[in-house]
Amino acid sequence: MRRLRGRLLRLFRALLAKEAPDDAFALRYLEGEERELYLAMDPRDRAHGVRVARRLLKAYPEAPGYAVRAALLHDAGKAVRPYRTLERVLAGLFAPPLPPYPLRRGLLGAFQVRRHHPLYAAERIRDPRVRALVLEHHAPKSLWGRRLHEADREE
């Protein structure tokens, strides 16, 4: 029940947020194709990525650049579909076990994106260190993966 309540709070906070992303901050860290990947994200997801990156840097000022870049791009896989508020809410509450491919349309596709967005982002990231952290941001395996996960969960 506590986990569901946390998810609901994050969802409503995201829906009500009117914050514009600090793209200048993000673009100072991102390299090459990472910039295009970041800019293809919905502004709400970009703002979230910036908040996560700033929390990571506040907690760990020594964070390597690749960890900050992973924080900015950790939800970039959600950009494979347009941002549809109702789908995001439903997928945030329930995501049945669907395979990542083929990517479906409608609500089933939203469920897939919710569950597999780390994979969709990682497939588009060249730097293996950034790719690895993005892949593990929901199930951390490394030190920086755990730190990224913590910064992401604070929201």
This model's pTM is above 0.75: yes
pLDDT in tens, 67-125: 999 999 999 999 999 888 888 888 888 889 999 999 999 999 999 999 999 999 999 99
d(CA 146, CA 150) in angstroms, rounded, equals 6
Please write the tens of the pLDDT for every residue from 15-53: 666 678 999 999 999 999 999 999 999 999 999 999 999
For domain 1-154, the question of CATH label 1.10.3210 is answered with yes
End-to-end CA distance of the chain: 18
